[in-house]
């Protein structure tokens, strides 16, 4: 639609424009209901249909069998940092954590608060600019799970391949969920705040394999027990957020699902890294073997130039390019809903900017 | 707008139509941002403005001084059932609960899971059709707090006056929040799922007085510690839900705030109860001294007639009238955003229905 800019925000992040136009169209009346989707009971057939459709689409896109539970929870990925160990860290056992960034650290902190969480590997020594080589991981074969952050939103690194471990993986996939194919068999649980790759802020997608779910600690506070939410709506879900997620999933399926989006994401990332590498003016901060296809972090020769870049890019209709406040520099988040045209426009702007200030 | 019906849903519930039209207008581009409100960082100045405005409006409407913290959390009122005792039920102390309905019971259950929670009074003996008289309450003057459910959404009862106790009140105000004036001094904490009186599903408003906050247990899991959220955004809030809450609050202030809405709510409830009482065909289920001005529960002579009532009302453009699945009968939820015209239309339909089937 007219007046839309290219949005590289790290999250909440750009949504597919057709989804937004559908939402607009469905206000203030959804279908023939005489009321909007915001105003109906979560026990209504209309919401049940949305909930079921979103769950079916997730199963289909990821190839999840019946042994998987699909949950739409609240509290963000941050609440999962607590809920995962509360459910799955045994009183007399331990869990392993791979520390590859600030979010992984926070997840580890909450686990340690509850019990015996171990650092299996960390890349903190070089400011989280890489993913530790699996040969260096100190894995405990008796761990209840191995937790990792598949994509490190802040530092612009990403696991290039899924970890291999004897124990079930638990993955914070907040910033690369549904951006590429995965191997579900390796996982016990996958969680993702929706606001990067799959919807707006306000819903957290949680996938749990049933045999893993059955191992959880008991008893637990009702709302924090994953079992409470498996297979039923216990309390009021974040209706509107799930409604948008369902539309985003349909959009993704329409594109061709994960193989298709993976190819598109590969092209977008290649374009941008190629531009960064072409000259010394731009400098990628993640080590080449660990580069994220979702969050592309880079620096310019000076902080002053970086500020100017952000400001002039905004004038040129490219927003959300400022790096995370904890690391500085630039960050272009190029999630699923970021069109290749946005990346092309950014690359052109980078050319122009270097010509002018380089 | 054309095509809108009268919606008596218990929650998620009707929203003010001007709010919905504003939301529609602001899609897919919010102001001059070039992107929608769904797609921008929660650290952006634009969201900060919404967050601050919503909090300022809540303070103004309720007359809250600087000693109050205003929080927008996730997880629904149901997560508060756990979070309240986790923070405020001391290991070596206790808390009192007034059991006036299914939600109060659930709150009590979560508290008992964590420690010493006491039943100070209960109306379960007559199916929660009344509010126990304060003279019968067995209050512990050493309790950390007295928890009550100001309005019992399912049973259609409501505290006619605020409890008096030596200890701070903790109130689940989910279904009558901002429907009438309150006396903030009596409370330590007030929480409300937004989806009845103040917005869409997906955000829970929590008000905490600072001196009460300071008494909380320590240490706590980060996300469940109210202190984490007091005065700052710790993680991604449910942006869109807060954005709507802010609009609803502005709408409420525009009407004249709590004194004005209280008068309107009094009129709506009086109209409906007057009709119920006029003939024997309709029978209110709450004892007259405990009647809710938000959820008006009533029965017809037979279940068959009740089903017919729901079906024919829907045909007549009056939806959401079915009672809660756990109690049956009819329930008209007439929250703030339910216009008096809706109640008038319902009363007319009740006249017609009784003439035809009475
Ligand atoms: C990888 C990762 N994990 C967790 C979070 C925290 O998510 P939330 O704000 O939904 O709690 C983020 C947010 O940016 C993230 O990128
Ligand atoms: C009084 C009251 N408390 C708590 C709840 C539960 O709220 P939620 O579904 O947001 O957890 C409800 C929901 O109807 C309610 O009416
Ligand atoms: Mg990170
Ligand atoms: Mg370079
Ligand atoms: Mg109730
Ligand atoms: Mg009567």
Residue A1, pLDDT above cutoff 80: no
Residues A248, A313, single domain; the answer is no
pLDDT-based confidence at residue A197 (cuts at 50, 70, 90) = very high
Six-digit token pair at B141? 């003057």
- Cβ partners under 8 Å of residue A299, min gap 6: A282, A283, A285, A306, A328, A329, A330
Q: Is B280 a catalytic residue?
A: no
B29 has pLDDT over 90: yes
The enclosing domain of A68 has a CATH number of: 3.40.640.10
Nearest CA in chain B to A80: B223
Which of A11, A41, A75 shows the shortest C-beta gap to B75? Answer: A75
**Catalytic residue status for B51:** no
pLDDT, chain A, mean: 97
Answer whether residue A237 is part of any domain. Answer: yes
Domain assignment present for B12: no
What per-residue confidence (pLDDT) applies to A242? 98
User: Which ligand has the minimum distance to the alpha carbon of residue B282?
Assistant: 6
Same domain for A272 and A304? yes
Residues B281 and B205 in one domain: no
CA distance A342 to chain B (A): 13
Q: Residue B325 — very low, low, confident or very high, per pLDDT cuts 50/70/90? A: confident
| ipTM score assigned to the predicted complex | 0.98
Position B268 confidence tier, pLDDT thresholds 50, 70, 90: very high
Residues A284 and A190 in one domain: no
A125: left (phi over 0), alpha (psi -120 to 50) or beta: alpha
B336 and B214 in a common domain: no
Contacts of residue A306, defined as CB under 8 A and 6 or more positions apart, other chains included, come to A299, A300, A323, A328, A329, A330
A46 and A69 fall within a common domain = yes
pLDDT of B353: 98
Residue A340: CATH number of its domain: 3.90.1150.10
Domain boundary among B191, B224, B255: B255
- Mean pLDDT value of segment B310-332: 95
If asked whether residues A222 and A289 sit together in one domain, one would say no
Is residue B5 assigned to a domain? Answer: no
The answer for A 185-224 residues in CB contact with B (under 8 A) is 193, 195, 200-203, 219, 221-224
- Residue B358 predicted with pLDDT over 60: yes
Please give the residue range of the domain that contains residue A293: 6-14+257-357
Task: Over range A251-275, report the average pLDDT.
Answer: 98
Distance CA B67, CA B178 (A): 19
Same domain, A194 and A335: no
Percent of chain B at pLDDT > 90 equals 97
User: B130 and B214: one domain?
Assistant: yes
Q: What mean pLDDT is reported for chain B?
A: 97
Q: B199, B221, B255 — which closes off a domain? A: B255
* Mutation choice for ligand 1 from A79, A105, A153, CB with most ligand atoms inside 8 A: A153
Pocket of ligand 2 (CB under 6 A): A 235-236; B 11, 76-78, 103, 149, 153, 172, 174-175, 193
DSSP states of B267-309: HHHHHHHHHHHHSSSSEE-S-GGGB-SSEEEEE-SSHHHHHHH
Query: Is A3 in Cβ contact with B240 (below 8 Å)?
Result: no
Distance CA B332, CA B173 (A): 18
The answer to whether residue A262 is domain-embedded is: yes
- Report the pLDDT value the prediction gives residue A315, as an integer from 0 to 100: 97
Tell if the CB–CB gap between A240 and B5 is shorter than 8 Å: no
Residue B39 contacts residue A32 (beta carbons within 8 Å) = no
Q: Look at chain A and report how many structural domains it folds into.
A: 2
Judge contact between A335 and A261, C-beta under 8 A. no
Q: Is residue A57 part of a domain?
A: yes
pLDDT score of B220 = 98
Nearest CA to ligand 2 atom 15: B174
Contact state of A238 with B241 under an 8 Å Cβ cutoff: yes
In a domain, A1, yes or no: no
A118-146: pLDDT as tens digits: 999 999 999 999 999 999 999 999 999 99
A165 phi, psi to nearest 5 deg:
-155, 160
User: Does one domain contain both B251 and B261?
Assistant: no
> Residue A326's pLDDT is what?
81
Same-domain check for residues A192 and A275: no
Q: Is A68 a catalytic residue?
A: no
Is position B279 within any domain?
yes
Nearest Cα residue in chain A from B325: A43
Q: Write down the pLDDT at residue B327.
A: 85
Contacts of A82 (CB under 8 A, 6+ apart): A110, A113, A114, A224, B221, B222, B223, B224
Nearest-CA neighbor of B203 among A269, A236, A196, A248? A236
Active-site residue, selected from the candidate residues B51, B172, B176, B225:
B172
> Which pLDDT belongs to residue A57?
98
The answer to whether residues A26 and A105 belong to one domain is yes
HSE (side-chain half, CA atoms, 13 Å) at B250:
16
Distance between CA A145 and CA A325 in Å, rounded?
31
Whether B13 maps to a domain, the answer reads no
Among B238, B255, B272, the domain-final residue is B255
A39/B contact by beta carbon, under 8 A? yes
Partners of residue A234 in chain B, C-beta under 8 Å: 78
């Amino acid at each position: 639609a007219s007046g839309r800019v290219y949005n590289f925000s790290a999250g909440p992040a750009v949504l597919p424009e057709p989804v937004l136009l559908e939402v607009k169209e469905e206000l203030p009346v959804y279908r023939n209901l005489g009321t909007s989707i915001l105003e109906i009971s979560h026990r209504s057939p209309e919401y049940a249909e949305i909930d079921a459709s979103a769950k079916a689409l997730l199963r289909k896109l990821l190839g999840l069998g019946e042994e998987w539970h699909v949950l739409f929870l609240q509290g963000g990925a941050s609440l999962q940092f607590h809920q995962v160990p509360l459910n799955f860290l045994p009183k007399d056992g331990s869990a392993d954590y791979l520390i590859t960034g600030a979010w992984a650290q926070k997840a580890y902190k909450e686990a340690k608060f509850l019990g015996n969480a171990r650092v299996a590997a960390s890349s903190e020594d070089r400011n989280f600019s890489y993913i530790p080589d699996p040969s260096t991981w100190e894995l405990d074969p008796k761990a209840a799970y191995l937790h990792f952050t598949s994509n490190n939103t802040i530092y612009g690194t990403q696991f290039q391949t899924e970890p291999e471990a004897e124990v079930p993986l638990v993955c914070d996939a907040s910033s690369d969920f549904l951006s590429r194919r995965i191997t579900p068999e390796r996982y016990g649980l996958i969680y993702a705040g929706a606001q990067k790759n799959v919807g707006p802020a306000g819903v957290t997608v949680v996938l749990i394999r049933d045999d893993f779910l059955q191992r959880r600690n008991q008893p637990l506070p009702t709302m924090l027990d994953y079992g409470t939410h498996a297979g039923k709506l216990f309390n009021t879900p974040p209706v509107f957020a799930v409604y948008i997620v369902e539309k985003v999933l349909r959009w993704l399926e329409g594109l061709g699902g994960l193989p298709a989006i993976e190819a598109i994401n590969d092209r977008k990332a290649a374009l941008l890294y190629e531009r960064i590498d072409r000259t010394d003016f731009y400098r990628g901060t993640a080590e080449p073997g660990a580069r994220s296809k979702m969050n592309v972090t880079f620096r310019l020769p000076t902080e002053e130039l970086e500020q100017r870049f952000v400001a002039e890019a905004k004038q040129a209709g490219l927003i959300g390019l400022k790096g995370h406040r904890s690391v500085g520099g630039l960050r272009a988040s190029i999630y699923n809903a970021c069109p290749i045209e946005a990346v092309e426009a950014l690359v052109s702007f980078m050319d122009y900017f270097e010509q002018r200030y380089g």
